[in-house]
Structure 1
Amino acid sequence: MAAEILTREDLAVFKKELFHELRDLMNAPTAQPRKWFKSYEVRDMLGISSGTLQNMRINGTLSYTKIGGLIFYDYNDIIKLMESTKKTVKPS
């Protein structure tokens, strides 16, 4: 088994490369939110019960996609719903 010797110069090069990679990771744009969410996640996000979520599906307030026994909700539809129900505070 051949031994490899690391020099200070090797370590300095490694340090520089590692620093640049870490900097690039820190400056990378943040990840996009997921596209699809399950019912329990939407209930947690909106702070609603499963019955309320079901009513929102039935009356068309929130669109969904059903695959097998799972129901999925589009992130953009959730945001649109929140924007449409947003209330503004009037200054007094």
Structure 2
Amino acid sequence: MSPDELLTKKDLELFKKELFEALRPFQEAQGLPQQKWLRSSDVRKMLRISAGTLQNLRIARTLSYNKVGKIFFYKADDIEKMLNGVEKKSPKKKS
């Protein structure tokens, strides 16, 4: 790459995708489970919660996460378990 070429975010995303695809056969050969990771914005949409509520779940250790730089990542399986474990409560009737 010459000094006058600019590396864009799209270039990095493409590289990341290609890298994970290239590493997949090695991961499968070692019998490692593939995990899908979600960002905070995805988790907030799935759980229909605010950023503050998500932060409280992290602080209370209700929801495990990994932090890379300034970005929080959550296991998709953990979010699915949380969604399936939530009981639907009906509103109380007024007497």
TM bucket, shorter chain: 0.5 to 0.7
The aligned counterpart of 2:78 is: 77
Number of aligned pairs? 56
TM-superposed deviation, 1:88: 7.6
Q: Percent identity?
A: 50
Q: In structure 2, what residue type is equivalent to 1:78?
A: I
Residues 1:35 and 2:36 are matched in the alignment: yes
Where structure 2 has 5 or more consecutive residues not aligned to the other structure, the ranges are 1-34, 91-95
Q: Matched residue of 1:72: which SS?
A: strand
Deviations 1:30-85 (A, max 9, x none): xxxx7011001111111100000000011011110101111001000001111222
Distance in 1 of aligned mates of 2:56 and 2:71:
17
* Alignment partner, residue 58 of structure 1: 59
AA paired with 2:68? I
The TM-score, its normalising length taken from structure 1, stands at: 0.55
Give unpaired runs (5+ residues) of structure 1.
1-33
The residue identity in structure 2 corresponding to 1:81 is: M
Residue matched to 2:49? 48
Larger radius of gyration: 1
Match of residue 87 from structure 1:
88
TM-score if structure 2 supplies the norm length? 0.53
- C-alpha RMSD of the superposition: 1.8
